[in-house]
Amino acid sequence: MRLIFAGTPEFAAQALAAIVAAGHEVALVLTQPDRPAGRGMSLQHSAVKQVALAHGLALFQPPSLKDGAAQARLAAVDADAMVVAAYGLILPQAVLDLPRFGCLNIHASLLPRWRGAAPIQRALLAGDDESGVCIMQMEAGLDTGPVLLREALAIATDETAATLHDKLAALGARLIADALDRLPMPAAAQPAKGVTYAHKIDKAEAIIDWSHPAAKLDRHIRAFNPFPGAQARFAGQPVKLWRAVAVTGSGEPGTILTVDRQQIVVACGDGALAVSELQKAGGKRLPVQQFLAGHPLQVGQRFETASEAV
């Protein structure tokens, strides 16, 4: 297959590496323009760009695909198919129509559940038992196209967005290589029932509301690990919570019930949350024992509620 590949983060980079390893000709790689990152705010290559450079692939980083010059560059490739994975730019109909077999998207959910930008986090927040990957024929609608391949996997009880991302990235890389080997292949229309939307994550969503049940806050912390990090406030200062489990316990929401070397147990609206890894602003992620050495917390003290934190 002569291909165009469009993607930006690590999820997409694994797929690109798998496609190259499968022996396909990747004639052009599209990725988002380099952007400043890190403390020095220097321009950083995307994960996909790093893979493309390592394999000597032609790169194209347009800010948009809506202008005629960008579309002419893609048309000149005369691609059999275009593979898209977490690219971050909208593909106009003119681009969708260019390749002989169209554009294939690697989507990290079991469509039609969790169409949209943040399917991994939304699945965890909702307490889904399973997730998966769909290889979808792209069309103008948001993740509405027919599905060529799908495969499910179970979500572990301690799954975080980071661990689920890695599992789905590996699964997506395997499925897209399989799909390309089998083109042309039939695609099944998505069912009309069961549609949900995985809206983009807003950092404000990461603020912990201690009035919620402990089981919900457990999912909250795992869904926002590693980005943007579930955030509580203590004594007016932000504290990120990275690891916790729901346990039995009761008290005024936000109140510290017990403290030991392994965990800090905090009362919730229903049950309690045993926190085992924390991070103060400007500090490092620390297990409880190390965190308490610099930031002693005591039974009876309270994390601020959502209303107090505003």
Domain that holds residue 217: 203-309
Mapping DSSP to helix (H, G, I), strand (E, B) and coil, where does residue 74 land?
A: helix
130, 168: one domain: yes
43, 87: one domain: yes
59, 123: one domain: yes
In this predicted structure, the answer to whether residue 218 has a pLDDT above a threshold of 80 is yes
Nearest to 136 by CA among 96, 161, 109, 105: 105
Cβ-Cβ contacts under 8 Å for 5 (sequence gap 6 or more): 12, 15, 16, 19, 26, 28, 29, 30, 48, 82, 83, 84, 85
178, 218: one domain: no
pLDDT at res. 292: 93
pLDDT at res. 213: 98
pLDDT at res. 187: 96
Q: What is the DSSP letter of 213?
A: B
Q: Are 51 and 15 in contact (CB under 8 A)?
A: no
16, 89: one domain: yes
Q: What phi and psi, each to the nearest 5 degrees, are found at residue 221?
A: -65, -40
What does pTM read for this prediction? 0.94
211, 98: one domain: no
The alpha carbon of 157 is separated from its chain's Cα centroid by a whole number of angstroms, namely: 18
Report the chain's mean pLDDT, rounded to a whole number.
Answer: 95
In this predicted structure, the answer to whether residue 38 has a pLDDT above a threshold of 70 is no
145, 219: one domain: no
14, 100: one domain: yes
Task: Choose the final residue of a domain: 136, 163, 198.
Answer: 198
173, 221: one domain: no
Task: Choose the final residue of a domain: 145, 165, 198.
Answer: 198
pLDDT in tens, 229-275: 999 999 889 999 999 999 999 999 999 999 999 999 999 999 999 99
Cβ neighbours around 145 below 10 Å, total? 23
167, 267: one domain: no
More confident call, 120 vs 306: 120
Task: Choose the final residue of a domain: 178, 198, 218.
Answer: 198
Over range 144-173, report the average pLDDT. Answer: 98
pLDDT-above-90 percentage for the chain: 90
Q: Are 130 and 150 in contact (CB under 8 A)?
A: no
Q: In the Cβ-directed half-sphere of 279, how many Cα atoms lie within 13 Å?
A: 16
pLDDT at res. 310: 46
Q: How far apart are CA 296 and CA 290, in angstroms?
A: 10
Question: For the chain, what is the domain count?
Answer: 2
More confident call, 38 vs 3: 3
Q: CATH code at 188?
A: 3.40.50.170
Which residues, listed in sequence order, are joined to residue 81 by a DSSP beta bridge? 3
